[in-house]
Structure 1
Amino acid sequence: MNFFHPRKGRCSLDEMIAVIQSYVQEDRNAEYKVVIGTDSQTRERQTLFVTAIIVQRVGKGAIFFYTRHLHRAMKDLRYRIYRETEYSLKCVELLKEKGFFGFSVNIPMEIHLDVGQQGETRKLIQEVVGWVTAVGYTAKIKPESYAASQVADRFTK
């Protein structure tokens, strides 16, 4: 799986983790938070999913990476939102498999979901938030879900 950094370009999972670890080591006394969110954009023939991985140095900036997945066009909103949630959770599991959370167990994790009280996605809030919290993560919805609704969204265009 390829990840992208806005300035460094394409990198592997191992390279991304090394950059994140280096970022955290730069200021070991800072408070950090890992935020993961996915957004999608359906065009005529395909749907593009973008998952953003943000490491926030709380109050002092952040770094982020993103990855993309292409599928046949998915017109069903419920299916797309479920797939977005699935990609975010798979990304967490991928990071865990590589030992990402082993270097600092004190970094909190949030999953940002592209659902909110306005619009059609409000019907899906309980389902996807329940899914994320059932597997042990904190879920955020719009307007607090900036990883999905702002960062990932920017790279689906």
Structure 2
Amino acid sequence: MDFFHPRKGRCSLEQMIEGIQSFVREDENAEYKIVIGTDSQTRNGETLFVTAIIVQRIGKGAVFYYTRFHHRAMKDLRYRIYRETEYSLACVEMLKEKGFFRFFSNLPMEIHLDVGQKGETRKLIQEVVGWVTSVGYTAKIKPESYAASAVADRFTK
């Protein structure tokens, strides 16, 4: 699976992990948070999913990477939101398998969901937040879910 850094371009999972480790080593005394979120866009017969992985140095910037998944067009909003949540959680599992959290075991982590109190997605909040919290992660919704609604969204266009 390929990841992308906005300035460095394409990189492997291992290179992404090394980049994040370097970012954290620059200021080991700072406070950090890991945020993962997915957004999607359907057009031209396909749905593009983008998952963003952000490591935020609280009050002092952040580094982020993203990956893309192509799927045949999904018109059903519920199914698309479920798939977005699934991709975010799968990303966490992939990072776990690569030992990412041995280095970052103390860092708080949030899963950002592209749902909010306004619009059609409000009906799905309880379901997807429940899913994320039931597997042990903190879930954020709009307007606090910037990983999905701002960062990932930018790369679905």
Q: Deviations over 1:32-89 (max 9, x none)?
A: 0000000000013000000000000000000000000001000000000000000000
Secondary structure, aligned partner of 1:50: strand
Secondary structure, aligned partner of 2:96: helix
Distance 1:130 1:29 in 2: 33
Equivalent residues in 2 for 1:46-85, closer than 5 Å = 46-85=46-85
Q: Which runs of 4+ in 1 moved over 2 A?
A: none
Q: Which amino acid aligns with 1:133?
A: T
Instruction: Determine the structure 2 residue equivalent to 1:98.
Output: 98
Secondary structure, aligned partner of 2:117: coil
The normalised TM-score by structure 1 is: 0.99
Instruction: Give the aligned length.
Output: 157
Instruction: Determine the structure 2 residue equivalent to 1:139.
Output: 139
Distance 1:37 1:19 in 2: 19
Q: Runs of 5+ in structure 2 lacking a partner? A: none
Report the identity percentage. Answer: 83
Instruction: Determine the structure 2 residue equivalent to 1:2.
Output: 2
Secondary structure, aligned partner of 1:27: coil
Q: Deviations over 1:74-111 (max 9, x none)?
A: 00000000000000000000001001010131100000
Instruction: Determine the structure 2 residue equivalent to 1:108.
Output: 108
Distance 1:30 1:94 in 2: 26
Q: Which amino acid aligns with 1:71?
A: H
Q: Which amino acid aligns with 1:27?
A: D
The normalised TM-score by structure 2 is: 0.99
